[in-house]
């Protein structure tokens, strides 16, 4: 349990809760706590899926500009820019399904946190964007890379070049979020979605996530080899035996998995 980040586990779903009032500005301390939270949910076998959540009013309005403004090139190059990428890499590397629950603003570093998730639910009143260009900089916690991979380079360039805020309906049309629900239902919808994965075969879910994410970084032939290797390896798991035996004996969708 950190000062600004909490991890709460219930029913196989862990919620990583950002809690630095008023706007969840992501300072260095909070970034380090998010690295620790990612480690915690990764290592906890009771956790089958994860929700990233900033609270009812705001997801995260971005990095802490007051903290960064006085930094020199040497300070940023040697340390803080690495931390910016380390904490988002840690979240993206969680080997379990992760759903971001976006309320209010998810801007700059806040959107970069949401981009580390596998799926995103936004409230109808949410606003997302990468406004760093308006500060004379660019996204530094993965925004130029993850956003372009998610919605394509041209759309990503439009958002990053302009720094504009995108409302929920447009974010859905762009593929930047996957579902839009009433603001009051965001966390419930995200948690229900995460819970639908929590009882699944943990090793296979991890393999699927790794195959997709790693495959996006390589050519098709290499991606197919990643898939083949992961697919074959699952035949060494108890869950594969249980899943196929259940299918043959009882029909689809009735297997109980043990995560081994």
**pLDDT tens digits, 155-166:** 999 999 999 999
Q: Pairing mode, if any, of strands 119-123 and 127-129? A: unpaired
175-233 pLDDT, tens per residue? 999 999 999 999 999 999 999 999 899 999 999 999 999 999 999 999 999 999 999 99
Answering whether pTM is above 0.75, one says yes
Catalytic residue among 3, 43, 67, 112: 112
Q: Which residues contact 152 (CB under 8 A, 6 or more apart)?
A: none
Q: Does the annotation count 132 as an active-site position?
A: yes
Q: What percent of the chain has pLDDT over 90?
A: 80
61-76 pLDDT, tens per residue? 888 888 888 888 988 8
Higher pLDDT, 257 or 13: 13
DSSP string, 52-96: EE--SS-SB--B-HHHHTT--HHHIIIIIHHHHHHHHHHHHT-SS
Q: Does the annotation count 170 as an active-site position?
A: no
- Is the pLDDT at 253 greater than 90, yes or no? no
Higher pLDDT, 2 or 132: 132
Which domains, from first to last, does the chain contain? Answer: 5-198 (3.90.226.10), 202-250 (1.10.12.10)
Q: What is the dihedral of CA 150, 8, 32, 35, to 10 degrees?
A: -50
Catalytic residue among 43, 56, 132, 249: 132
Q: Pairing mode, if any, of strands 13-18 and 49-53? A: parallel
Phi, psi of 189 (to 5 degrees): -65, -40
DSSP code for 21: T
98-146 pLDDT, tens per residue? 999 999 999 999 999 999 999 999 999 999 999 999 999 999 999 999 9
If we measure between CA atoms, which residue out of 91, 92, 63, 166 comes closest to residue 122? 166
85-98 average pLDDT score: 96
- Is the pLDDT at 1 greater than 70, yes or no? no
Question: How many Å apart are CA 48 and CA 42, to the nearest integer?
Answer: 9
If we measure between CA atoms, which residue out of 79, 81, 85, 75 comes closest to residue 113? 85
């Amino acid at each position: 349990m950190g000062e600004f980040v909490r991890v709460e586990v219930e029913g196989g779903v862990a919620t990583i809760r950002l809690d630095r009032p008023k706007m969840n500005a992501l300072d260095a301390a909070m970034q380090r706590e998010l690295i620790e939270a990612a480690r915690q949910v990764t290592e906890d076998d009771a956790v089958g899926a994860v929700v990233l959540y900033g609270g009812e009013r705001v997801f995260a309005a971005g990095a802490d500009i007051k903290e960064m403004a006085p930094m020199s090139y040497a300070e940023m190059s040697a340390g803080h820019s690495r931390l910016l990428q380390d904490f988002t890499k840690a979240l993206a590397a969680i080997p379990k399904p992760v759903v971001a629950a976006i309320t209010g603003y998810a801007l700059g570093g806040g959107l970069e946190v949401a981009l580390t998730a596998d799926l995103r639910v936004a409230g109808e009143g949410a606003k997302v964007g990468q406004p760093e260009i308006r500060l004379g900089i660019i996204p530094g916690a993965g925004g130029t890379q993850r956003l372009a991979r998610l919605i394509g380079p041209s759309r990503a360039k439009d958002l990053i070049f302009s720094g504009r805020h995108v409302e929920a309906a447009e974010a859905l049309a762009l593929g930047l979020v996957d579902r839009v629900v009433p603001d009051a239902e965001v966390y419930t919808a995200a948690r229900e979605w995460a819970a639908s994965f929590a009882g699944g075969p943990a090793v296979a879910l991890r393999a699927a996530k790794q195959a997709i994410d790693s495959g996006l970084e390589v050519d098709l032939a290499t991606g197919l080899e990643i898939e083949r290797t992961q697919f074959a390896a699952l035949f060494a798991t108890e869950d594969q035996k249980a899943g196929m035996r259940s299918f043959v004996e009882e029909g689809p969708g009735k297997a109980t998995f043990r995560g081994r």
